[in-house]
Structure 1
Amino acid sequence: MRAALVKYSGRRLNNHEAVWYDMPFRSTLEDYYNTGDICVYDSTLRLVKYSAGVALNIDEPVTDGVLERIRASCDFILLRGSNYIHEQMDWGHFLSWIEALDLPVLVIGVGAQAERERAIVLPTENRRVWQAIADRAPSIGVRGAFSAETLHRNGIHNIEIVGCPSLFRGLDRSLKLRHAPDGPRRVTFSLRREVGSTYALDPAAFQATQKRIIAKLALVSDLYLSCHGEPEEKAFFFRAPRHMDKARAELVAQGWFDEVTGRVLQDLYERRLFYVGAPGDYDVYAAQFDAALGYRVHAVLPAVAVGVPGVLFSYDTRSRELAETFDLPIYSPEEFERQTLGEALAPQRFDRFQALFPERYDRMKAFIEKNGVPTRM
């Protein structure tokens, strides 16, 4: 099977591994990009067994030359999962490409994005894209119930809840979480400073709560932080002196390095901050910890995929939906702060996740195969 790759994020090292684009170091250091997108892309490629892939840029209009090349070299369209189901989604020329190619479309783990669970009414053009996909797929794989309900409300009914490919990236049906005998001690916390109104009802409160939790964790655990795209954090990771000075001034101006928790945060940034440059690198990093928590879904799920107990924070529909789909612990910040770290990550809280993981692994495998594509699962 040969794939036309749509909404690709980064570049492929081979058919089953992706990293960020080959760019000058200055761009890596100074530009923001969301490494969660790379993780989903990489995870999708790991699950799907295909012989060749061709990148299809749907931001470009259909041309006869590219159309004939894709038709001659591809058997299906592979759309990686992401937060595509919302009112502002720009599909470029995807509808024209779908109609012109008329190939099967495999969609794995797409989701609705909103600051809270509410009715999302998609614009007509977006509904036409989803209908064109639905017409060319036995079913569309969504990450959870909210996404399924949203597509159903917008007239798309051949839907299947499969979760996110990032949880299955280890290709291990017999995955067993490793719980530290005396409770979690070494902990990694994923930062998320960039947040808008589609992720949180109150972005300022979101950031203040996150800082408070980090400061408390630093008192009770051997804490490390991971960053996932923001240039200020990358300046600290790469220890570029002038960039660090500029980043420090910016973080002070934004109130991130404040008078209450600023000293703790600066110390962690200078000594214990890891930058996730490639999904495969994060697999190696995450496996060294007793627990993974924080505000990056694609830091928690990949950690769980390598056997590390992970906890999600309830701050948007995506985190709540994935926790519900996989039965992973999820807490509001207030709920988390009322517990000890050991209580929040108690092994029994993962019993249902552990018991149902093989069934959910099989469901993802069966979904892909039902769409006519073999898997590596």
Structure 2
Amino acid sequence: MPAGRVVENVGVVTHTFGSPEKATRLFTNIGDCFVYDSSLRILDYAELYPIYASANGDISEAQIEKINLLDYLFLRGSNYIHTNGQWDPIIRVLERTKVPVIAFGIGVQTPDNSEDYVNESTKRFLQIVSHRSATLGVRGNLSKKALNSIGIKNVRVFGCPTAFRHCKPKLSLPRIKANEIKRLGFTLRRKTHGFGTLQRYLMRTLAERYQTEFLCAGELEEKAIFYARCNQIANADEVMAKAVNQLIKERWLYGENDPILQLYKSSLAVFETVADFEEAEQHLDAVTGFRLHGNLLALANEVPALYITYDTRTREFVKTLGIPHVDGRYIDKFSFEEAWDQADFGHFEETYQMRFGELKTFLEENGMAHRLGATPTPYVVEAA
């Protein structure tokens, strides 16, 4: 199903938008909403028809007839290339339809040094998409290599739609020294295996140095703490205690007096709409952290961001777009200030222009009308 739902004049919102109680029970990765919202801003269309495929692939003849009247189906960019994919239901839907299927910024998710990229279900799914596309748009060269390994050669690299959501051929980031930063955003990704201690260290030290806002992308316990702190849910004290106990159990917090918990209670931000997350970042001087799309949304809004990379996915991504970064695997004695002041945002600006051209070519060779180079419509129209 789509990553979120569309609200006219707002854009893409999470599936828990407007329901804090539900939000504390359902994980929703708002980064996926960024990609969905950005894709809709880039594409030029009159009607959006979200497709919800059931677990067994059942879909009515009326829906099949509707789909076959569309110009194309697009797959929101995500980690489609991996060994755990269960694509049989959507394969059955695709096999009953005729229109082009466009992969719009997909990528590989694989462990370090592995060349085992897909299972049979994923391989079949990607081959169908390849046969129904002029080219597949992918995140980077590792994703291209993975597709090449299963015989898919019609690939074009451009990164992720989120980078190009404002349809600008060029971006110009302000040059700001670390000692000039006042408001800093830290994009939180708690479940980064092997990097928890580093992330906690950065959160604490940066909060001591800057006015730091911690930007949550959908983690359940963080959402529970946020909504309980704001008294937006019933039994707020009980919800807060349960979330804190779970984080202690997972060894993210070291007791109820942990400084990270105090930061959560003062500076944690949760968002249920792309527009709200974007507005928050637009008011920051700088952004850093572990969230691929949280950092990218800042760059798309010409707010400088320094990535901390921690897996093949983030490393591939920063290379594709020339984004300043620090490789978390090799951090020993780390100075954020030094890393920030050495960051080459000019290289990112140059690479962005090149990838913008690749994206434009990708859309046009696949027959997809677009708004690149124009002012994007701030909302979309959704079919009933």
Give the TM-score taking structure 1 as reference length.
0.89
Note if 1:236 corresponds to 2:196.
no
Q: Which has the higher contact order (CA 8 A, sep 6+)?
A: 2
Q: 1:124 to 1:340 in 2, by over 3 A?
A: closer
Deviations 1:2-26 (A, max 9, x none): xxxxx41111124992111256431
**CA distance in 2: counterparts of 1:10 and 1:258, whole angstroms:** 34
Q: Does 1:134 align with 2:118?
A: no
Q: Which residue of 2 aligns with 1:280?
A: 275
Structure 1 residue 121, shift from structure 2 partner: 4.2
| 1:179 to partner: Cα distance | 2.7
Match of 1:346, SS? helix
Q: Judge which range, 339-348 or 285-294, deviates more.
A: 339-348
1:42 to 1:8, Cα distance in 2 relative to 1, 3 A = same
Instruction: Check the 8 A contact 1:256/1:262 in 2, yes or no.
Output: no
- State how 1:242-321 maps to structure 2 within 5 Å: 242-258=238-254, 263-321=258-316
1:143-162 equivalences under 5 Å are: 143-162=139-158
Larger displacement relative to structure 2 (92-101 or 43-52): 92-101
How far did residue 120 of structure 1 move? 2.1
For the residue of structure 1 that corresponds to 2:96, the secondary structure is helix
Unaligned 5+ segments in structure 1 are 1-6, 196-202
Give me the whole-angstrom Cα distance separating, in 1, the residues matched to 2:365 and 2:269.
Answer: 39
Q: How far 1:288 sits from its partner (Å)?
A: 1.5
1:224 maps onto 2:213 in alignment: yes
Q: Any conservation in 2 of the 1:187–1:292 contact (CA below 8 Å)?
A: yes
| Counterpart pick for 1:186 among 179, 183, 186 | 183
Deviates more, 1:137-146 or 1:25-34: 25-34
- Between the aligned residues of both structures, percent identity stands at 30
**How many residues were matched structurally?**
361
1:87 and 2:76 are equivalent in the alignment = no
Q: Distance in 1 between matches of 2:364 and 2:35?
A: 19
**Residue 15 of structure 1 contacts residue 52 of structure 1 at CA under 8 Å; is this kept in 2?**
no
Match of 2:200?
A: 211
**How far has the Cα of 1:351 moved from its partner?**
1.7
TM-score by length of 2: 0.88
Q: Which moved more, 1:292-301 or 1:231-240?
A: 231-240
Q: Which runs of 5+ in 2 are unaligned?
A: 230-235, 373-384
Which secondary structure state, in structure 2, belongs to the residue aligned with residue 292 of structure 1? strand
Classify 1:174/1:121 alpha carbon distance in 2 versus 1 (closer, same or farther; 3 Å): closer
- 1:16–1:216 CA distance, 2 compared to 1 (3 A): closer
Match of 1:65 in 2: 62
Q: What is the CA distance between 1:174 and its match in structure 2?
A: 2.7
CA RMSD, 1 decimal: 2.1
Distance in 2 of aligned mates of 1:114 and 1:164: 18
